[in-house]
Structure 1
Amino acid sequence: MIKATDLVRPLLPFPELLDRENALRKALAEQVQTRTMSLLERNIQIQKLHSQLLEEERSRLSAAPADASKPPLAVTQWRQSNGESCGRLGGDSGTCY
């Protein structure tokens, strides 16, 4: 997943936010592999951080000069990924990363 999001990174206005998400993704993967955390718990943690990062991005964008261009599709897809349903059993796996 981290390699896949590397393609999106240069398109994001604040790529360090994706870096933070990927750092958590790595840490949680280790916990899932050692069975100290369930996959469902991992999904909840990713979803929470993703929501926080989107809020931080919105805050930064509102403080920056307006850019009228439409974001690339990959950016939109990253923003829409890991929604609240990812933290539920049987979540929407099509957008849960």
Structure 2
Amino acid sequence: MEKGSLVMAMIWMAVLSLLLFWLPLLGPLIAGFVGGRTAGTASRGLLAAVLPAAVLCFVLIGAGSALVGLPLIGIIASASLFLVIVVQSLPLLLGAFVGGLST
């Protein structure tokens, strides 16, 4: 495992979040901590936690615009989904920050 790898940090966060879904607060916190340590720094850990949500929202902009035909609807749906994902993953962000600081 390469130290400071952003892609590996995102993979660790995703896999551990899926495996520890049954722990409401502790699961994302552990996943974020491991991903933050893998990322190497606190800023890279936070980026690894937020980047998949941003990519998902860009895909939603395209899909929403293509299905409805109005780009504004896609943008509104994407922004609301991004807000929900970021608020829901606050323990993941906190764990990524602490994990990045502890390297």
TM bucket normalised to smaller: 0.3 to 0.5
Higher helix fraction (1 or 2):
2
Give the TM-score normalised by structure 2: 0.37
Structure number with larger C-alpha Rg: 2
Structure with more relative contact order (C-alpha pairs < 8 Å, separation 6 or more): 2
**With structure 1 as the length reference, what TM-score do the two structures score?**
0.38
